[in-house]
Amino acid sequence: MDWRRFFFGGPPPAAKPPAEADAAAQTPPSEPAPVGDASAGNGGEAIYAHVPETQLRSSQQHRWLFDDGVQYWNRHRHEKDFKPNFSGVNFVKEAAKTRLWGRPIDLAGEERAVLTGIDLSHADLQGCTFAKADLRDAKLIGAHLRNANLAGANLSGADLSGCDLRGANLDGAQLARAKLTYANLTGASLKDANLAWADLNHAIVGMRNLQEANLFGASRNTIAPAEKPQPHPQIENITASKVG
């Protein structure tokens, strides 16, 4: 599918044979086309267009998650090779009338989006809203969460290794024992965030960002300029398993 036509309109594409059309529906494009230029005040950096709500709700990925739930979503991730794309989606709004909304029995407080244990590894989640969402033990390895709203979200035990969290709002987020190795937290807001016992080894984050966060028991090692760069922990684990 041509994403420029998808987002900005244009003449309809030529009709595809049924078999080809089904295959295209099962495998959405990996990410939308970036827009923006240097004159827009963003230094020429690409800004990703949000997926239109009408297109999102009719997509296969939306049905797998919001209609079938986290368990079936994770099963599809295991069985099919695709990259999740929910750029700009407000998960709080989308989940409000689905099985992803409720009050977890082991969490006190108001209802929220319940995404416990979800596998969103390498997903495009730029600009998404996960405010107060239950993301405990979520797999967010290598996910693009730039400028995402994770204020008050519960990410305890979540794996955010290699995540792009630049400019993300993590105010009041629970990140106890979360894995943030190699994550990029440049410009992220961490006011009142709980990072107790979190793994921040090799994460890119300034001390100014961490001043108002709870860092009790958190570990953080950085690579010195003269030090040989270390591989990502996942690569180490894969290598070790092959040797053993």
pLDDT tens-digit series, residues 95-126 = 998 989 987 877 777 889 999 999 999 999 99
210 token code pair: 């961490």
pLDDT for res 58:
53
What gap in Å lies between CA 93 and CA 85, rounded to an integer? 17
Domains of the chain: 49-223 (2.160.20.80)
The whole-model pTM stands at 0.70
What gap in Å lies between CA 53 and CA 159, rounded to an integer? 28
Q: What is the pLDDT of residues 133-147, one digit of tens each?
A: 999 999 999 999 999
What gap in Å lies between CA 221 and CA 46, rounded to an integer? 31
pLDDT for res 144:
97
What gap in Å lies between CA 222 and CA 84, rounded to an integer? 31
What gap in Å lies between CA 12 and CA 43, rounded to an integer? 33
What gap in Å lies between CA 179 and CA 181, rounded to an integer? 6
Strand partners, 114: 134
pLDDT for res 72:
94
Question: Do 133 and 92 meet the contact criterion of CB atoms below 8 Å apart?
Answer: yes
194 token code pair: 């709980």
Strand partners, 129: 90, 149
Q: What is the mean pLDDT of each run of 10 residues along the chain (244 residues)?
A: 49 50 44 38 44 61 92 93 92 91 79 95 96 97 98 97 97 98 96 97 92 93 49 44 40
With a CB cutoff of 8 Å and minimum separation 6, the contacts of 189 are 168, 169, 170, 171, 209
233, HSE (Cβ side, Cα atoms, 13 Å):
16
Q: Is the dihedral of CA 202, 204, 208, 214 positive or negative?
A: negative
